[in-house]
Amino acid sequence: MINTQFRQQFPYFKQNGNWTYLDSAATTLKPQILIDETCQFYQSAGSVHRSQYDLSQTQAYEKARDLVAKRFNVVTREAVIWTSGTTHAINIIANGLDEQIQTDDEIIITVAEHHANFVPWQQLAERKHAKLVVLPLNENYQLEPTALQNALSERTKIVALNLVSNVTGVRQPVEALIPIIRQYTEAKVILDIAQAVCSEQVDVQKLDADFYAFSAHKMYGPTGVGVLMGKSQSLAQIKPLIFGGKMLQNVTEQQLTLAELPYRLEAGTPNIAGIIGFGKVLEWLETWDFQQLNQGLYHLATQMRKRLESYPNIQILGNAISPTMSFTFSNQHHADLATILAEQKIALRSGEHCAKPYLRYLSKTGTLRLSLAHYNISDDLNQFFNALDTTLAILQD
Ligand code: PMP
């Protein structure tokens, strides 16, 4: 099985053999190749794009940018900007579009956004006396194309959506939604693809958004590295959030001339070790048959759903077969369950998942969330369901 071979690349399983990791939506485990590459960088010296002697680091750093452009089918490498994560990337956009927003303009999001794709827009709306329009979802936890169409107007300047929800694992039908936005408005379209990148090869040209944001740590990469990417024309319109070294062509006491993309949006020393390591991870991912890895993943997700459905008093949020699923038990508190599960060495997430408005909308104080990645195997599910049975028995006593 390819997923078992893939699992062997992750030292976590050797070092934490008695734990069952089912929290990959929070962050995926790290392959040995990332750890080795990062260590190697820290044993060398120098920065990137600063000196004559740091050429090999600079080459590896820029190669990682090429690898991102290739994987996501970005038109030009200059339209790939390094950030510290999805949150940082979305803040760059929300700050950068500031001058294009006027009083009474509208910014549309859904109620299902992670705080990272909610709060920056709320703050932008507040700053510019614009209106934040928060759209509800249909019974399938998706944004209905007609609901979006009805909300659009000539006042709509921004539409920011998640591709896959970190709470439910449900994918939004962006292939239907984005053409509607394009037909009726000139709005900038932002996609938060943080939860999609692990199990989908997102094609930025096909989806046709202006901006995309994701974090490397959601796809076997390091923490502290993220990407903002999209259309060069759209990126060129945003003003920098951070000013400093390497983002300018010239500066005098009176005047600043900004550098071209991507550097104008990358002030300061980047996370070189992380970025070079992420490049290595992308190169390594190319050596695996992604379709086959996904087959194993979705087979496991189907099993997970079937087995969850067999429990009385359970409510699973949404009816999608997805590597990420949230659920609640009507007669048990999620935190009690998570605590007793953790005592049995089950790593899963419970709570509000950085999506307070969404949880409130769903009338939930919290959920339990299971999330799989390509290294999970049926034994992980067996461990989980055994532990769940024990937990429910303890709580019923
Ligand atoms: N959006 C979504 C959908 C997420 O799942 C996450 C991470 N949980 C984020 C944004 C924020 O990512 P980061 O904390 O890496 O910036």
Strand bridging mode 106-110 / 156-162: parallel
Residue 198 annotated as catalytic: no
The CA distance from 92 to 135, in Å, is 23
Q: Is the C-beta atom of 169 inside 6 A of ligand 1?
A: no
Whole-number pLDDT of residue 253: 97
- Which residues, other chains included, contact 187 with Cβ-Cβ below 8 Å and sequence gap of 6+? 108, 152, 156, 157, 158, 159, 181
Is the pLDDT assigned to residue 226 strictly greater than 80? yes
Which ipTM score applies to this complex? 0.99
Mean pLDDT score across all residues of the chain: 97
Q: Detail the DSSP E strand segments found in 85-208.
A: 106-110, 131-135, 156-162, 188-192
Whole-number pLDDT of residue 46: 81
Is the pLDDT assigned to residue 397 strictly greater than 90? no
Whole-number pLDDT of residue 52: 81
Q: Hey, how many other C-beta atoms are within 10 angstroms of the C-beta on 34?
A: 24
Q: How far is the CA of 46 from the centre of ligand 1 (A)?
A: 31
Per-residue pLDDT tens digits for 182-203 = 999 999 999 999 999 999 999 9
Residue with the bigger pLDDT between 52 and 367: it is 367
The enclosing H or E element of 294 equals: helix 290-309
Is the pLDDT assigned to residue 245 strictly greater than 90? yes
Q: How far is the CA of 83 from the centre of ligand 1 (A)?
A: 13
- 207 pLDDT band, cuts 50/70/90, is very high
Whole-number pLDDT of residue 238: 95
The CA distance from 376 to 46, in Å, is 38
Q: Is the C-beta atom of 85 inside 6 A of ligand 1?
A: yes
Q: Which pTM value belongs to this model?
A: 0.97
Is the pLDDT assigned to residue 53 strictly greater than 90? no
Q: Is the C-beta atom of 116 inside 6 A of ligand 1?
A: yes
To the nearest whole percent, how much of the chain has pLDDT over 70? 100
Residue with the bigger pLDDT between 98 and 53: it is 98
Per-residue pLDDT tens digits for 254-309 = 999 999 999 999 999 999 999 999 999 999 999 999 999 999 999 999 999 999 99
Q: In ligand 1, which atom is closest to the CA atom of 26?
A: 8
Q: Detail the DSSP E strand segments found in the chain.
A: 20-21, 80-83, 106-110, 131-135, 156-162, 188-192, 211-215, 226-230, 248-251, 256-258, 314-316, 324-329, 346-347, 349-351, 367-371
Per-residue pLDDT tens digits for 60-85 = 999 999 999 999 999 999 999 999 99
Which of 171, 218, 353 most suits a substitution to test ligand 1, by most atoms within 8 Å of the C-beta? Answer: 218
Is the pLDDT assigned to residue 240 strictly greater than 80? yes
Q: What is the mean pLDDT of residues 34-57?
A: 88
Q: Domains along the chain?
A: 2-22+289-396 (3.90.1150.10), 34-285 (3.40.640.10)
Per-residue pLDDT tens digits for 108-140 = 999 999 999 999 999 999 999 999 999 999 999
Whole-number pLDDT of residue 48: 85
